[in-house]
Structure 1
C-alpha cells in the first residue's frame, strides 16, 4: 500500500506541472499532519533541485530519453529522497516510486524506474554547469550576475535551495500570521502613525494590512478577488473589491498608500520554487504593464504630503527600477533591494515616493 505522503506529493507535483502552485495545493491536500510534513519536503525538494535530479535521471538511465511526466515525477521524487532525506529508507523510496508509476497506469515503465533507481548513488557529483549545480535556469543566473554581481547571483540561487526561515507577526487581535521578514520591512518604510488613512491597493492575503493596522491606521484593503478579500474579514479593515489598474472609487485621498504589486516573484524562489521553471523573460513585460497602471492609479489618490511605497518580491529591473522611472525623479525619496543570500528572508524591492 502506498504511503499517503508520497501519494499526495506525487499528485501535487503532477498538478504543479499543469500550472498549480505547490504551497496552495499542499494546504488543500487531504492528509494528516504527520504525512503532510514528508509530502511537503518531497514536493518542495523536487521543485528546488529539479535540474540536479533531471541530470541524475539522464546519467543513471545511460542516455537522454523522452519520459512521460508521471515517470519523470516518480524518478525525481525517489532521487530526491535518496540524496537529501537521510531518514527515509532507500528501499521505501525506490519501491514506492515504482508503485506510483503503476498507479499512474504507466506500468510498462516500472522495470525501467526500478533499474535506474538501483543504480543511483548518494556520493558527490561533478555537476557539469552552474545551471545544474545551483538548479536554476541560466538566463536568470546571467541576469542576476549582470545586475548584482557574480557573488550575489550565486547567493540568490543557493538561497533558493534552502527551506525558508519562518517569521511570525502578531496582529492587533492577538493572533499570529506567518510573514516573511522582508515583507515586514516593506511596511516599515511607510512611517505609519495612528489615525492616518491607509490604502493597501493589492492587499490579499492581508499580512501587510494586518501589520499596518497594528500601527493604529484606518485601513482600506483592496483586491480584485472577492474570495481572497473575504479571508481578511477578521482584520477589521474596510474591504473594497476593485481592480487597482482601473479608476479607484474613493472620494477622499490617503495619507499612506502601499502598492505591493503582483509580480514574477523571483525573490521568493525558496518558498515558490516552481516559479523558476515556468517563468520566461517575456512575462516580465506583462507584469510591468500592470505594475505601472497600479502605480498611476494609486498616485492619483495620494494626499498632499503623503507617502506611497511601491514594492515587489521580484529581483528584475523591469518590474522595479523601470516602473519607478515612470515617476518624476524628484518624487522618489529612496529605493532599496533585499537580496536572498545577502539579506534575511525573501528578496524584495521597495521605493518610497512622496506626493507631487
Structure 2
C-alpha cells in the first residue's frame, strides 16, 4: 500500500516567505492559514523553523550569498533568492538534514515553481556555500560597529543606527538578541470558562516548559507546544486566547469594571476585547470598533467561542471622523492603535524588513487621529488608555505630547496613586507602562493613561 504524506513543509515555508514580502499581511496570520493544513508534528516544526529562522537571519544569509552570486541580488528573481536563503539557512543552522539533501530539495523547489531552468544555479551556489560559507568575511565590531551589528543580528542598518542613538551599542545588541530568540507561546486563561490551574493541568501533556506568567494573574507560558494552538486542549471550548504577557498587562491598566460601558476603539480580532470582557465578568457593554469588517467577523466568532455576550461590533474608520454623539458616555476607552510593530519583532520578524517602518510619521499621524476622534466619547472622569506594541518615541511620547498640546481639557495620569494597584506597577516608568524584550522577557509595549481635567 502506497504511503501517504502530508503537505511538504518546505514548499509551504517558501510560499509563506514569498507572501511575507509581497503582502501587507502579518506573518502570524499567514502562518495561521498554513498551519490549518494536516502537517505531521515534525513537519509543522520544520515549517515554523524555516520561516522564522530565515526571516531572523535574512541579512546575514544575504551577505554570505552575495559572495557566491555573479550579479546583484536585486537583479535575480526574488523566488530564487528565497530558495537560496532557505537552503543556506539549513546548511548553516540545521543539522538534522544532510547538506546534499538540502541542495537536492532546493533544486526540487525550483521545479515546483516551474523554474527548473534555474536548478543548476541553485545547485552551484549552495554547493559552494557548503565548502566556503565559513570563510566569507563579515564586518567586525572594531572596524564597522553599526554594520557588524546589523549583519550579525540581521537587522536593517537604519534601525540599528536609530537604536544605538537612543540606547547605546551594548543595549542595542541585547535588544537584538532578545528579538532573535524564539519567544514562548503565551496564552491568557478565559476566567469566564475555567481557571488557570485547571487549564495548566489540561495542557500538561500538550506542551513543554509550562509555567505561570510572572506578572499577569491569568497568563501561561509554554516553551513549545506539541500542536497548533487551535488543536490544543481547551481551545474549542474557549478556555484561552493567545496573548503575550505585556498585552495582558495593558488590559489590566484599562481596569474595566462590571456594568461599565467600554469602547475598544481598534478591536481587531478581539484579543484585548476578550480580556476586557472577562474582567467585567461579561456584565456591561463593550463596543468593539474596527475599520476591517473581516476582523470584526473573526472577533464575533471569538466572542462566541469565549462565551462573551456583551460585545457589540461597529465597522468604522476613525480617520474619517468620530462616531455619532449617541455613542458618547464611555467609562473606559482603549485605543490599542495600529502601529509599526517594532516592539514585537521577535514574534513578527518580517516587520523589520518592511520599508515603510523607516518613517514612523504616518503611523503617528494616524494614531493621533484615532485618539482625537474617540476622546469626545469619553465620560467626564473616565479613562482613555493609549497603547502600542512599539517602543519608538514617535509612536509613544510623541503622540501623547501632540494630544495634550491640542486638548487642554485632557490630562495625563502620571502617578500610580491614581491607578488601581496591580502588577502593572512593576512596569510603570516615567508616567507610562513600558515593557522591553531584553529587560522583561516579553513584547515591547507602551501604554499611557489620559483622563478629563
TM-score by length of 1: 0.92
Report the alpha carbon displacement of residue 214 of structure 1 after superposing the two structures with TM.
1.4
Distance 1:31 1:210 in 2: 27
Q: What residue is the counterpart of 1:72 in the other structure?
A: 81
**Which residue of the other structure, out of 22, 28, 43, is the alignment partner of 1:23?**
28
1:84 — aligned with what? 93
- Distance across 2 between alignment mates of 1:169 and 1:248: 31
Counterpart for residue 227 of structure 2? none
Which structure has the higher relative contact order (CA within 8 Å, separation 6+)? 1
Which moves more between the two structures, 212-221 or 70-79?
212-221
Are the aligned partners of 2:55 and 2:350 in contact in 1 as well (CA < 8 Å)?
yes
Partners of 1:155 and 1:340 within 8 A in 2: no
Match of 2:265 in 1: 201
How far is 1:74 from its partner? 0.7
Counterpart selection for 2:254 from 155, 179, 190: 190
1:42 to 36, 50, 56: 50
Aligned counterpart, 2:13: 9
Match of 2:168 in 1: 149
Question: Could you tell me which of 438, 441, 448 is aligned with 1:341?
Answer: 438
* Alignment equivalent of 1:131, drawn from 142, 145, 150: 150
CA contact (8 A) 2:328 2:378 kept: no
Counterpart CA distance in 2 for 1:281 and 1:27 is 24
The gaps in structure 1 that reach 5 residues or longer are none
After superposing the two structures, state which structure 1 stretch, 280-289 or 97-106, moved more.
280-289
Aligned counterparts of 2:255 and 2:392: Cα–Cα separation in 1: 26
Find the counterpart in structure 2 of residue 231 from structure 1: 298
Q: Which residue of 2 aligns with 1:59?
A: 67
Superposed CA deviations along residues 166-208 of structure 1, whole A, max 9, x for unmatched, are 1111222442111011111111112332222211100121111
After TM superposition, the structure 1 stretch with the greater mean CA deviation from structure 2, 262-271 or 331-340, is 331-340
8 A Cα contact 2:7 2:38, kept in partner: no
Match of 1:352 in 2: 449
Partner SS, residue 33 of structure 1: coil
Show the counterpart of 2:419: none
**1:271 maps to which of 344, 347, 351:** 347
- Distance in 2, Cα, partners of 1:321 & 1:125: 42
The SS at the match of 2:332 is strand
CA RMSD, Structure 1 to Structure 2 (Å): 2.3
Q: 1:208 to 1:95 in 2, by over 3 A?
A: same
Deviation at residue 119 of structure 1 after TM alignment: 2.6
Tell me which residue corresponds to 1:33: 39
TM-score normalised to the size of structure 2?
0.73
Shift of 1:85: 2.2
SS at match of 2:360: helix
CA displacement 1:224-257 (0-9 Å, x = unmatched):
1121112122232111222233211343311111
Match of 1:320 in 2: 396
Residue 264 of structure 1 deviates from its aligned partner by 0.8
- 286, 289, 292: which one pairs with 1:222? 289
Cα distance change, pair 125–258 in 1 and its aligned pair in 2 (3 A): farther
**Structure 2: segments with no counterpart, 5+ residues:** 140-147, 195-238, 414-430
Asked whether the equivalents of residues 67 and 136 of structure 2 are also in contact (C-alpha less than 8 Å), the reply is no
State how many pairs are aligned.
356
Once the two structures are superposed, the pairs formed by residues 93-108 of structure 1 within 5 Å of their partners are: 93-108=102-117
Instruction: Return the alpha-carbon distance in structure 2 between the equivalents of residues 126 and 353 of structure 1.
Output: 52
SS in 1 for 2:438: coil
Counterpart CA distance in 2 for 1:326 and 1:64 is: 44
Shift of 1:3: 6.8
User: Does the CA contact (< 8 Å) of 1:288 and 1:319 recur in 2?
Assistant: yes
SS at match of 2:279: coil
Q: Paired residue for 2:317?
A: 243
Q: SS of the counterpart of 1:86? A: coil
User: Per-residue displacement from partner, 1:72-123 (whole Å, max 9, x unpaired)?
Assistant: 1111001111222232332322111011123323333222211221232475
